[in-house]
Structure 1
Amino acid sequence: MASAPYIVTKGIVLRETETKDADKILTVLTAERGKISVVAKGVRRKSCEYAACAQHLAYSEWTLFQRGEWYYVREGSTEEQFMGLRTDLEALALGCYLAELTEAVTAPESPAPETLRLLLNGLYALSTLHKPAAIVKPAFELRLLCLAGYEPLADGCAYCGAADPEQPMLDVVQGVVRCGKCGVGERALSLPLCRDSLAALRHIVYGDPKRLYSFTLGPEALKRLGAAAEAFVSAQLERSFRTLDFYKSLQGPLMP
């Protein structure tokens, strides 16, 4: 019986789990095969030539072979380790959250080129471009959920149709923008925006992905965008994220 052919692919490690005999089980996001489970045998030994590839958030080219539902590593070479994250605990914590969020919305064995590109660009924005976390986090959250099929309707008030809603709000459950006076019964499910934060929301949802982080906001508008994006993720996915809790613990107490 002929041996299975090798598969060459590039992917980023979303999660790593140590197992017996110096092995690791990796959750790797690839463009062609989406999210796959990879067994890296002996990778925790100092002699392993591809140990750097098996680190959390490392982007590498992998040579794999498949047995059943599992992929096994033959060899690997590192493409990008995002070293700027590894020297900044807060940036690293946010990067880990981006990876956990990506894992949550990505299907196994389903091509995900746009999702992989989004994650790589997000990590690059934090690691190399040093974009503010307060911009990267909400932009990534909202854009990722758009790719996952949760795109909010932000082109006007969902109730009265106004293109420029008065006292705009984002209903995080229904995924729609509305005027502050419209849909009063849904008020408890909505987060307040403003003219600038609504414009940023529209830029994120409808704009060129290559310019995702190319916007600026004042502190108050940025705070509103961040709160709305985080609440939208929580409402749509109905779960919490351990890495988000850790990232927020590094922010310190809020100023009164």
Structure 2
Amino acid sequence: MQIETDGLVIMERQVGESDRLITVLTREEGVLRAFARKAKLLRSSKLSATQLLCYSRFLIYKGWDKYIIDDAQPVEVFFDLRRDIGSLSLAQYFCELAGALAPQEAEAGDFLRLLLRAFYYLSKGTRPHLLVKAAVEMRMLSLAGYMPDLVCCAGCACYEAETMLFLPRSGVLYCQSCYSQGAEPAVPLSPGALTALRHTVYADFDKLFAFRLPEAGLWEVARASEAYVLNTLGRSFPTLDFYHQAEPGGRTVPMEGTQTEKMDKG
């Protein structure tokens, strides 16, 4: 059986001297792993189309227990991502996140569209890294079935207060009056940051990256989104750690630094 589909290479590994084993996020088949024979040879038509971060059109043979790439043609190689180490490391983190969250052998068009749009903004440099990162993290988790409840306070249904508290372990909001200190670590959010966090989850896709915040607000949203990823999935990612090393200014506060005891000190 042959499959013709477009997809983004989210992982690659050399096999032997000339073959590649790649992981592709495809529109129709979700995440799949396929062998690209002779893809490392300079004369191979698959050379650029099967490299990491390349968006390509694939002709794939589907066997009983493996996929083999018969042909691959690049559509977009996102060359500009490699001009900036922060953009490159963030794109690699998004790939690893998609590998953990996107479905296998099932339709994944929304996941693919999310990564392609994020790569576009990272390549052009038209959106702050923290904005793109928060939008991708929150929307990808929501697509995977981990949408948080950001509508109102889980205790009194208050929609907005001077400071609201996001609980990344349970994915809910509390106002300061309802939050029980010590019950669970929380990330404080100002009204602007809360609006932006809601936007990453509930906005139409075409408007997902179309919000603006001052730097202080972006840091609040970044703390909340990364904490939600780490708590929801119960793990970190090597590519996320590398992003923080490559772009120290992008490091968000770890969970132990987001508890309300930090608020008390302020």
TM-score scaled to structure 1, two decimals?
0.94
Query: Root-mean-square deviation (CA), in Å?
Result: 1.4
- Tell whether 2:158 aligns with 1:162: yes
CA distance in 2, matches of 1:153, 1:6: 41
Decide whether the 8 Å contact of 2:155 with 2:174 is kept in 1. Answer: yes
1:251 deviation in Å? 2.2
**Paired position in structure 2 for 1:47:** 43
How does 1:96-135 map onto structure 2 within 5 Å? 96-128=92-124, 130-135=126-131
**Paired position in structure 2 for 1:220:** 216
Tell me the alpha carbon deviations over residues 105-156 of structure 1, each in whole angstroms, 9 at most, x when there is no partner. Answer: 1221121111111111111111135321011001110011110111111111
C-alpha spacing 1:10/1:81, structure 2 compared with 1 (3 Å): same
Decide whether the 8 Å contact of 1:82 with 1:128 is kept in 2. Answer: no
Match of 1:191 among 167, 187, 191: 187
**Paired position in structure 1 for 2:258:** none
Aligned to 1:60, what secondary structure does the other structure show? Answer: strand
CA distance in 2, matches of 1:15, 1:8: 19
Match of 2:139 among 136, 143, 161: 143
Match of 2:205 among 180, 202, 209: 209
CA distance in 1, matches of 2:248, 2:197: 26
1:6 deviation in Å? 2.3
Decide whether the 8 Å contact of 1:167 with 1:192 is kept in 2. Answer: yes
CA distance in 2, matches of 1:88, 1:22: 28
Aligned to 1:174, what secondary structure does the other structure show? Answer: coil
Letter in 2 for 1:167: T
**Paired position in structure 2 for 1:63:** 59
Match of 1:200 among 190, 196, 200: 196
CA distance in 2, matches of 1:186, 1:104: 31
Match of 1:73 among 66, 69, 74: 69
* Ranges in structure 1 where 5+ consecutive residues have no aligned partner: none
CA distance in 1, matches of 2:176, 2:231: 20
Decide whether the 8 Å contact of 1:42 with 1:48 is kept in 2. Answer: yes
Match of 1:23 among 19, 24, 42: 19
Letter in 2 for 1:38: A
Match of 2:10 among 11, 14, 18: 14
**Paired position in structure 2 for 1:32:** 28
Decide whether the 8 Å contact of 1:191 with 1:227 is kept in 2. Answer: yes
Aligned to 2:163, what secondary structure does the other structure show? Answer: coil
CA distance in 2, matches of 1:31, 1:186: 43
Q: State the identity %.
A: 34
